[in-house]
Amino acid sequence: MEQEKAYFAAGCFWGVEHLFKKVTGVIETTVGYCGGKTEVPTYEQVLTGDTGHKETVEVVYDPKKVAYSELVKIFFEIHDFTQRDGQGPDKGDQYLSVVFVQDDKEREIVNSHIEYLKTKGYDVVTQVKDFEKFWPAEDYHQDYYSRTMQVPYCHYRRNVKWEI
């Protein structure tokens, strides 16, 4: 089975992971941290907002079953990409909307989706950053909603009619 990885930050990683796990073609997910300056960051360090890391989900997927462009669409459907200070009630730099791209092809796909949303009148604040390193979060954060039998409090999948 072919596998690729994608990296999405869209607020609290628990809800983002919960929704990506439901996507056909997604093999596994891991919550963690991307984009910061601290080596091997802890949740407590990231929570301060001083490390530069974003709560991020690593999505391992089978590109024969789900395309990267489809994952990008889902990313935009499951959070408020217009919120500048976090997601829902979660405020701070660590909760910002970011796609960490691994190459020019991914960058082009993400940017085309952003441009499309802008033509629909949205003020998209999602950042597109180069992927450098992913640090898995502590075990107690992995599969949080599956383990606790709770539901996400600020993430849900919206039905969006994409023409892209």
Backbone φ and ψ of 68, nearest 5°: -55, -40
Residue 159 in this model has a pLDDT that exceeds 80:
no
User: Is a pLDDT exceeding 70 seen at residue 129?
Assistant: yes
User: Cα separation of 33 and 10, whole Å?
Assistant: 12
State which residues form the domain around 79: 4-148
pTM, two decimal places: 0.94
Please check whether residue 85 lies inside any domain of the structure: yes
- CATH code assigned at 36: 3.30.1060.10
Q: What is the predicted pLDDT for the residue at 148?
A: 80
153 within a domain of the structure (yes/no): no
pLDDT at res. 156: 64
Kindly state whether residue 61 falls inside one of the protein's structural domains.
yes
Check residues 137 and 160 and name the one with the higher pLDDT: 137
Rounded Cα–Cα distance for residues 17 and 122 (Å): 24
Residue of 134, 74, 67, 124 lying closest to 97 (CA atoms): 124
What was the pLDDT predicted at 46? 97
Is 158 a member of any domain? Answer: no
For residues 78-96, give the mean pLDDT. Answer: 94
Average predicted confidence (pLDDT) for the chain? 93
**In this structure, is residue 132 part of a structural domain?**
yes
Report, as an integer, the average pLDDT of 79-100: 95
Q: Could you read off the pLDDT of 26-43 as tens digits, one per residue?
A: 999 999 999 999 999 999
CB neighbours of residue 130 within 10 Å: 11
Question: Looking at residues 123-136, what average pLDDT do you find?
Answer: 98
- 13 pLDDT band, cuts 50/70/90, is very high
Closest CA to 19 of 85, 87, 113, 111: 87
pLDDT score of 102: 98
67 located within any domain: yes
- Position 159 in a domain: no
Region 51-55: what's the mean pLDDT?
97
pLDDT at residue 150 in the model: 81
Task: Please compute the mean of the pLDDT values over residues 12-23 and round it to a whole number.
Answer: 95
Q: How many domains does the chain have?
A: 1
Instruction: Please indicate, yes or no, if residue 83 is contained in any of the structural domains.
Output: yes
Active site positions, annotated: 12
